[in-house]
Structure 1
Amino acid sequence: MRRTSLLLVPGVAALAVILAACGSSTQVSSGAGLSSPVAATTAGAAGSSSSAAAGSGSVGAPRSTVAGRSGVAASAAFNCPTGGDGFAFASGGDVNIQNLWQKNLIPAWEKVCPNTKITFTFDTHSANANLDLAKVAAAIKSGQPVSVDLTDNFSMAAQQAGLTEPVTVADIPSISRISPTAMAAVKSAAVPYRASSVLLAYDSTKVTDPPKTLAELLTWIKANPGKFTYNSPSTGGSGGNFVETVVDSKIPASALTSMQTTYNPALDSNFAPGLAVLKDLTPSVYQNTYPNGNQAVLDLLSKGEIEMAPVWSDQFLSAQQTGQLDKKIKVTQIANPSLNGSPTYLAIIKSSAHVKAAQAFIDWVLLPAQQSQIVSTIAGFPAIPISDLPAGVQGAFAGIDTQNLRPNLESKTSADLQKQWATAVAQG
């Protein structure tokens, strides 16, 4: 499943249009409808970057609110950790996430708090996440010092295993800005710092009235056999989230809430109605097969082999920026239910000797300047409300609820669904 594969994009101006489609029925492409206020977001993002590069002011100075910009609330002074308390930070994902930390946020932090050094390690494609998690678990169990203090690579798995420190507003004041739902999903033992969402991409020259709801989408697929596909859920989150959305739509609300937060295999029987719907779609799916990976689906859209598919918002935008996808491919967001979106979390490892330093860093990452960097650098949704960001960045997300994304199933529950899908749909 794609967890951190946000792709690097060149600026917020192009981002504005794709995100204007999210959460609305507006049918736009990333190359159309750029009015002057939206185009100005590139300059706004650059201004935010400068602010972030300077941190939030000098050590001990008030938090910068990007002078002269509306929509950024004044905040108290940011206090760096005392005593030169550095910490080890383990991240993972694609190269854009590495660049976000290594070339942007960590250098900015070290200008603000030069005495608090970060030992940064990066796990490309999160290939060693399970091994690193096992090492942390073994160290905690044996009472040995942990080698990682903070992570966004295996944060969810560590939280679910009870290996992360709970946090409060007293520890990290900026989490008062975070959606309570996102905090409750991890029992306040990790902190979201960015997010992303799956959207519905379509060829606007062939689909003039794209579906607005899941029911309309399913009807369209059957009425247009061979023109839709999604990747197998174990090979990428765009297909995985489509499968979850269909299955979730058939699960009673009380059971679904439990399945999103707690692993209970006894509830897996609730998958059956949704899997039956997906199985019934198979004759209408492109070549009655399922591509391997998010990119394979984008390739089919690019070649004109299909007319519609679920895609990650950032991957779609990057593909249009590089010319892989023609501007005729547009995106929209369905409702009742929407396709899933999910936060990425930072978590402090239990037994860390550098908890205070890690807490301060998370607090700083959640400030408007750093959240604006996430928007402009990797096209990520911010973790804090749009109203807290500079006005130019707010314009890029007009009408979008970036905080209250529809949650995924709990990770083990999702893995169970993938296995049942492989048997009941792919092989059934």
Structure 2
Amino acid sequence: MRVIFFLSLFLALTAGCSEAPTEESVLRQDYASLENLARGTEVRWHMWGGSAQINQWVDTYVAGEMKRLFDINVVRVPMDAPVFVNKLLTEKVAGKDTGTMDLLWINGENFKNSMQAGVLFGPFTDRLPNFTAWYDPQKSAHDFGFPVNGFEAPYGRAQFVFEYDTERTPTPPATLAELADWIRANPGRFTYPQPPDFTGSAFLRQIFYATTGGHEQYMDGFNPDLYAKNAPLTFAWLSELGPYLWQEGRTYPKDAAALDTLFARGEIDMAMSYHPAHAQMKILEKTYPDTAKTFVLAEGAIFNTHFTAIPFNAPNKAGAMVLANFLMSPEAQLSKFKPENWGDLPALEIGKLDEAQRQAFDAVDLGAATLGADALSAVAVPEIASEYLELLERDWDTIILGH
């Protein structure tokens, strides 16, 4: 998640040109014309590739439906968001008006950096019929506190949960203090992915909220003085527990998939995910034991919306818009919601669906491992501004990894 060098280079060379460019020839067309323009084309979707289940859903269901409905070939390109953002920044500086990326799965500080550098296409979401039909614009108006302004299309929601095995841990911790006590009492049985892995970074933000008095104080934008005052509390908590972690805190799993493997093999007794149905999905694929469950802490569980965006130099903007629109459809949202496919929470408004559609969502069996909507909503807290996230990851590298 280090794009500072490239962002600085771009800003220096473009001297204040920070608005993302638009392409009137595409945005001026009605949606039916866009579909016709996109037929028979290829859409290259650059996205995080760290989940085999998500990859399979894209490669089978999404690719299959896009081909069947629109004769569009979807090519999934695994690439971490900071990498493709840096690629866009360098292409912008070099004047490369036609790139190789059509659609991006992008969030948080990567979206903010991209918007400030003017490397995204739009605004386009108001041109997508599924967005106007099924979504609440206010619920997707910000991404990590930064205004979206139509340059991102929502396609899923997530919330942070912990995972445990009732055979090994009959009663999980209920609060942060109980979690700390459990870690001390069970040395070597807990760890978390190394930030900037998305799940590891989410855990870090969870601890930041919980050790500094809650999320409310951070909701008015970035305050460097507040961070300077509060961050030492978070890193003191993490540092004190370091020796009790897996490998005595000398090393950390490289990503969420590595953490899943440790938990599945029984090397640790707790895992975590930003997808509430993740444990159930792992049970269905016979990776986790049937006794796996999820829990949240009383101090809160962060939730967010994830989005797609289109690069300024996407060669197939029409196809990208058709794919973004399909991902927001009730059919795609329902498929994605099922734990056997992904278990990702729907981003659309269930109340806007007709009765048959609502019943289809209500009928989805999230499994015994998944917490109910009431339990999740009771502890839901919003994401932090991206400036806090960047500083937390930077200081984690220095204080925790570099100790």
Pairwise same-fold verdict (TM > 0.5): yes
Partners of 2:170 and 2:58 in 1: CA distance: 41
Partners of 2:170 and 2:199 in 1: CA distance: 23
Which residue in 2 is equivalent to 1:317? Answer: 280
Partners of 1:93 and 1:252 in 2: CA distance: 29
Partner deviation per Cα, 1:315-370 (whole Å, 9 max, x = no partner): 533443343332233212223221x3443321022355755554344233211111
Secondary structure of the equivalent of 2:200? helix
Q: CA deviation at 1:208?
A: 3.1
Query: Does the 8 Å contact 1:228/1:309 carry over to 2?
Result: no
Query: Does the 8 Å contact 2:104/2:311 carry over to 1?
Result: no
Query: Does the 8 Å contact 2:157/2:347 carry over to 1?
Result: yes
Which residue in 1 is equivalent to 2:291? Answer: 328
Partners of 1:411 and 1:304 in 2: CA distance: 34
1:240 partnered with 2:201: yes
1:383 partnered with 2:355: no
- Closer, same or farther: CA 83–301 of 1 in aligned 2, 3 Å: closer
Partners of 2:67 and 2:33 in 1: CA distance: 10
Partner deviation per Cα, 1:186-244 (whole Å, 9 max, x = no partner): 5222122124333212231343332334344334434x241641224326433332221
Which residue in 1 is equivalent to 2:48? Answer: 93
Query: Does the 8 Å contact 1:201/1:309 carry over to 2?
Result: yes
TM-score, normalising length: structure 1: 0.66
Q: CA deviation at 1:271?
A: 1.6
Query: Does the 8 Å contact 1:342/1:405 carry over to 2?
Result: no
Letter of the structure 2 residue corresponding to residue 122 of structure 1: R
Partners of 2:325 and 2:400 in 1: CA distance: 44
Partners of 1:253 and 1:316 in 2: CA distance: 26
Which runs of structure 2 are paired with 1:3-42 in the superposition (5 Å)?
A: none
1:203 partnered with 2:165: yes
Letter of the structure 1 residue corresponding to residue 240 of structure 2: D
Partner deviation per Cα, 1:157-187 (whole Å, 9 max, x = no partner): 2553222234366422433414634331252
Instruction: Percent identity, please.
Output: 16
Which residue in 1 is equivalent to 2:127? Answer: 171
Which runs of structure 2 are paired with 1:333-348 in the superposition (5 Å)?
A: 333-338=296-301, 340-348=302-310
Secondary structure of the equivalent of 2:290? coil
1:277 partnered with 2:237: yes
Structure with higher RCO (Cα < 8 A, 6+ apart): 1
Query: Does the 8 Å contact 1:226/1:285 carry over to 2?
Result: yes
Query: Does the 8 Å contact 2:58/2:76 carry over to 1?
Result: no
Secondary structure of the equivalent of 2:239? helix
**How many residues matched?**
343
Aligned counterpart in structure 2 of residue 257 of structure 1, from 186, 210, 219:
219
Which residue in 1 is equivalent to 2:64? Answer: 107
Partner deviation per Cα, 1:39-58 (whole Å, 9 max, x = no partner): xxxxxxxxxxxxxxxxxxxx
Query: Does the 8 Å contact 2:128/2:321 carry over to 1?
Result: yes
Query: Does the 8 Å contact 2:106/2:307 carry over to 1?
Result: no
Partner deviation per Cα, 1:381-413 (whole Å, 9 max, x = no partner): 222134545424324369427899644445564
Partner deviation per Cα, 1:283-330 (whole Å, 9 max, x = no partner): 443453253233443344344444334345455334433433322332
Unaligned runs of 5+ in 1: 2-77
TM-score, normalising length: structure 2: 0.69
Which residue in 1 is equivalent to 2:155? Answer: 193
Partners of 1:326 and 1:82 in 2: CA distance: 45
Aligned counterpart in structure 2 of residue 81 of structure 1, from 30, 34, 43:
34
Query: Does the 8 Å contact 1:225/1:283 carry over to 2?
Result: no
Partners of 1:285 and 1:134 in 2: CA distance: 34
- Closer, same or farther: CA 87–205 of 1 in aligned 2, 3 Å: closer
